[in-house]
Amino acid sequence: MPTLTSTRPDPALDHRARSLFLATVVMVAWGVLAFGSPYAWAYVPLATGCAALGLVLFWRARHVSVPKMGDGPVLAALALVGAGAALQLVPLPPGLREAISPASTSLLQAVDLPFAVATLAPGGSPAPWHPLTVSTAATLKSLALLGAFAVLLAGLTSFFSREGLAPLAPPLLGVGLLLAFVGIVQKAVLGDHAWGGMRIYGFWEPQYKLTTPFGPFVNKNHFAGWMLMVIPLGLGYFLGLAEVGMRGVRRGWRDRLLWLSSHQGGHLQLVFFATTMMAVSLLMTSSRSGIACLLVAMALAAIVAVRRQRSWRGRLVIVAALALLAAVPLAWSRVDVVGRIATVRLNDSSIELRRAVWHDTLAIVADFPLTGTGLNTFGIATAKYQTRLSDLRFREAHNDYLQLAAEGGLLLGVPALAAIFLFSRAVRTRFRQSSDDRLSYWLRFGATTGLVAIALQSAVEFSLQMPGNAVMFVVLCATALHRAPYVRVRGRAPRAA
């Protein structure tokens, strides 16, 4: 009878599978090209499309043989995060709410006018019931996005475990190349100074002009964050294609040059070009967090790639390729990377801003240690807690981890940490299983490297709060988490021992 064996998937995809890969890329493209999708007209269809796509992918997995995912604990932890956010929405009597969150009354009186009138007006009525979150609408919005992205993660993980990863990489890198061209051409033609009349796409004027736009993003750091996730994936795809393609080529330079002129060699060169252009666009943003995290990602890729090679010749080839991928963008973009990073000083305006907002965020964490102020309510809570830089209004903490602690306390922080731990353990298990083919291994490696890079940037930025960036993050998570595909082969099933 037919049995299941862990190996490469059948390269001949049916039209439905190709359509689903295309739909995934469309979601990614819409999310990023629609200014990162921070506006309702962009994130509502994005969330709806992601949820629908995730359900379709999961439904498809019910009718085909797929390996056991093993992502159940991760999804369960995410479900607990969602359950915690849902608990923040439950109206509570004043006594119970104050017992759970003693500082909530004073914050509500500062930011909620109807609540303040009801509780502070002379002869006013007793305090009304109110949920733990200071803004039901803001928390509902984030909970809906979290649910849509969790459904997409479950669907993509099962889909990749069935169909593999190779069909996803080329169109995804195509989106990255398009985005890089938009940013490079836009800066060359229109500049990057919003006060000087710069328009995104030539027509869209940013509402807030205190940041430097780049590409479709109002904030250049968010563009850098998206590229931080995709460049390592392109790098992994490049290394995978090189390892697979050069496997049967003789060691002579003539044979290698002939291979480069073949179809496979041309594909490798296109991937090199796309990855290089994406790196150039990231460097042109002059985002210090983006540049620094990219250097860390490149160093990590070099260490792992070199250790994977058994011969010194192979290690030298890998080092030369990575050095070329680093040198070409540096020379092309003409950005003084060393000077840009070396100019970081403790009294730098960007550093001072972050120190100020982190100081106030810690005050919120101290007052709301158990349940937080409510998911996606940081910008509301700062109306009371902001004590520094009074000419600005902090809407984000510039540190996703601190912001989650302020908005969710232990109620959301504990399951979030559990999800991170379980995800990291599952990805480590995938690498230890060594069941990937060579190309899939490098794609998984690239996705994991991209996740590490964006996790580092999240300590000083908030790129993942852009829904368009979050979709790319979900795709990388599914790429890193999925199991090596099974294919059905004929043979006798092994007898039970």
Where in the chain are the domains? 3-87+134-347+394-489
Q: Is the pLDDT of residue 9 over 60?
A: no
- Tell me how far apart the alpha carbons of residues 369 and 278 are, in angstroms, rounded to a whole number: 41
123: left (phi over 0), alpha (psi -120 to 50) or beta: left
- Residue-wise pLDDT for 429-472, tens only, equals 999 888 888 899 999 999 999 999 999 999 999 999 999 999 99
Write phi, then psi, for 489 (nearest 5 degrees): -125, 155
pLDDT reported for residue 207: 76
Burial 456-477 (b: 16+ CB within 10 A, else e): bbbebbbbbbbbbbbbbbbbbb
- Tell me how far apart the alpha carbons of residues 186 and 195 are, in angstroms, rounded to a whole number: 15
- Assess contact for 220 and 214: CB atoms under 8 A: yes
120-124, 146-150, 171-175, 387-391: lowest mean pLDDT where?
120-124
When mean pLDDT is compared over 240-249, 366-375, 435-444, the highest value belongs to 366-375
Among 88, 168, 151, smallest CA distance to 409 is for 88
- Tell me how far apart the alpha carbons of residues 417 and 241 are, in angstroms, rounded to a whole number: 35
Crossing angle, helix 467-481 and helix 400-433, to 10 degrees?
20
Q: 489: which DSSP letter?
A: E
pTM for the complete prediction? 0.91
- Tell me how far apart the alpha carbons of residues 442 and 242 are, in angstroms, rounded to a whole number: 10
**Percentage of the chain exceeding pLDDT 70:** 88
- Tell me how far apart the alpha carbons of residues 380 and 134 are, in angstroms, rounded to a whole number: 8
pLDDT reported for residue 5: 41
